[in-house]
Amino acid sequence: MIQIHIRDQQSAFRPGETLAGETSWQFHQPPASVEVRLFWFTRGRGTEDVELIQSVSFEAPRQQDQRSFQFTLPDSPYSFSGKLISLIWAIEAVTKPGNDSARIEFIVSPTLAEILLQP
């Protein structure tokens, strides 16, 4: 099992702010690697886009472990929702080998609110 937590349970950030948190895991055997990824993706009609912004890999993960991470958020793109598509920011912790992962979605916007596009 792997978990991910954002410091202070913050769910919205301004561009340029620091997102900090921790990932923790507990397995029967130590994973070969653990990586935390900062990215955005689109959801809705049509082709989904994904862009990896930054990642951090943790060296020599133990069977049960906890590690801190932090990312400086870029100036754009902002989180938005429209009639056909939404742009969502997320961080994800992934282990290898295996299919264990955890994801948290959050908002990046100067107003700390998702931008709603009107048709």
CATH number at residue 28: 2.60.40.640
At residue 119, the pLDDT reads 64
Q: Is residue 117 part of a domain?
A: no
Q: Are strands 80-81 and 50-58 parallel, antiparallel or unpaired?
A: unpaired
Q: Is residue 89 part of a domain?
A: yes
Q: Is residue 78 part of a domain?
A: yes
At residue 98, the pLDDT reads 78
Q: Is residue 57 part of a domain?
A: yes
In the chain, the number of structural domains is 1
8: pLDDT confidence band, cut at 50, 70 and 90? very high
Per-residue pLDDT reduced to its tens digit, 71-115: 999 999 999 999 999 999 999 999 988 779 999 999 999 999 999
Q: Is residue 118 part of a domain?
A: no
Residue 55 lies in domain: 2-111
Torsion of CA 31, 36, 37, 38, to 10 degrees: 170
Q: Is residue 116 part of a domain?
A: no
Q: Is the pLDDT of residue 46 over 80?
A: no
pTM (predicted TM-score): 0.94
